[in-house]
Amino acid sequence: MTTGAATRRRLVWQQLVPIAFGVACLIAVIALLEVLIRAGVINRFIVPTPLDIAGSFGRLIREEHVGERFLLTCYEALGASLLLTVFGIAFGVLLHRLRLVRLATETWIAAMASAPLVLMYPLFLVIFGRSALTIIMMGFVSALPPVILKTLEGLSSTRPVLINVGRSFKLTPSQLYWKILFPSALPTIFVGVRLGMIFALINIVGVEFLINFGGLGQLVNELSERYDLPGTYAAICFVILVSVVFFVVTERIEKWLRPGA
């Protein structure tokens, strides 16, 4: 029947139109900027023309080793993420097992989750020097609390009936943990890990910028100190692109990890 196909086509169209509109607006704004800057309405020494910015991409890739920098940032992010996952989940599990320790420390960890931990970067500079280690540690420390808290949340919010099923089958405490509590908590745990990884990346790039060391963040800083305006804007676009890709990829992984949700 054509009605079914027609309805489907209409729905797809309905979804595409706003997106196309949004993209069109973006392009229109960029075009407008181009015109205004060329006309001198906006000072081109403060905002370079979009075309200049686009032109810098090639230059950046060739001369500024964007590829290597990207890899360095990735390596730092990976290091921090690994530490986050291992220690965050381990502490979360530990706290869940030891009720007294949990009661004593959970509010402290929640407080740390809201504190501006990244401001400790000068301290880490002193302790670890101007190195990738400082950046990794900074990413790790500033993103640890949410991972611990989400792990704890996931384990504690296991539905009581599932625990009762385990008890009715006479599971040992270890079996109860690994076969019921942990699988049940996994979606929430991954939400925490993802959150942590995003915080870590933000802080890693930020600290790279601030201490002028590392990959992409450092590139932005260097270009701005050289007053390479188109380059600075282009580098910023690069960083945004990387962060968006990272965000989308982790979102996909999260959806894939929850087949039953």
Partner 1 sequence: MAETGRLKAPASAGGWSALPLKRRVLLLRVAIIVTLVVVWEAVAASGLLFRDVVPSLVSVGKAMVSILTVADHKVQLFGAEHVIPDFYRHLWVTIGEVMTGLAIGGFAGLTVGLLLGANPFLSAAFERFLYYLGPAPKIIFFPLMIMWFGVGPGSKVAMGTISCFFPVVLSAASGVRQIDKVLIRVGRSFRVNTWQMVTKIYLPAMRQPIINGVRLGLGVAVIGTLLAETKLSNQGIGFLIINSYTTFDMPRMYALLMLLFVVSIAANALVGRASRA
Partner 2 sequence: MSAEPLLVVDNIVKRFETPEGTLTAVEGISFNVAPGEFVAVIGPSGCGKSTLFNIIGGLLDEYEGQVSVAGETLRGPHPSIGMIFQEESTFPWRTVIDNVAFPLEIAGMAKAERLEKARHFVELVGLDGFERRYPSELSGGMRQRVSMARTLASQPKILLMDEPFAALDEQTRLLLGDKVLQIQQDLKQTTLLITHNLTEAVQLSDRILVMTYRPGRTKRMVEIKLPRPRSSEIVGSDAFGHYVAQIWSDLREEASKGLKDDEARRGGARRA
Give how many residues touch partner 2 by CB under 8 A.
19
Q: Which of 3, 119, 126, 170 is in the footprint of partner 2 by CB under 8 A?
A: 170
Distance from C-alpha of 42 to C-alpha of 198, rounded to nearest angstrom: 35
Burial of residue 199 (CB within 10 Å: 0-12, 13-18, 19+) is buried
Q: Does 122 bind partner 1 (CB under 8 A)?
A: yes
C-alpha pair distances (Å), 204 with each of 85, 221, 247? 16, 14, 15
Stretch that binds partner 1, among 80-88, 146-154, 169-177, 240-248 (CB under 8 A): 240-248
Residue 183, interface with partner 2 (CB under 8 A)?
yes
- Helices 229-256 and 50-63 cross at an angle (nearest 10°) of 80
Residues in 29-48 at the binding interface with partner 1, rule: CB under 8 A: 46
Q: Which does 146 bind (CB under 5 to 8 A by kind): partner 1, partner 2, none?
A: none
The phi and psi torsions of 212 (rounded to 5 degrees) equal: 55, 50
Residue closer to partner 1 by CB (options 33, 198) is: 198
CA distances 127 to 79, 138, 193, Å, are 18, 11, 26
Residue 190 binding target from partner 1, partner 2, none, CB below 5 to 8 Å by type: none
**Which partner from the list partner 1, partner 2, none does 236 bind, CB cut-off 5 to 8 Å by kind?**
partner 1
Interface positions with partner 2 (CB under 8 A): 159, 161-162, 164-165, 167-171, 175, 179-180, 183-184, 186, 259-261
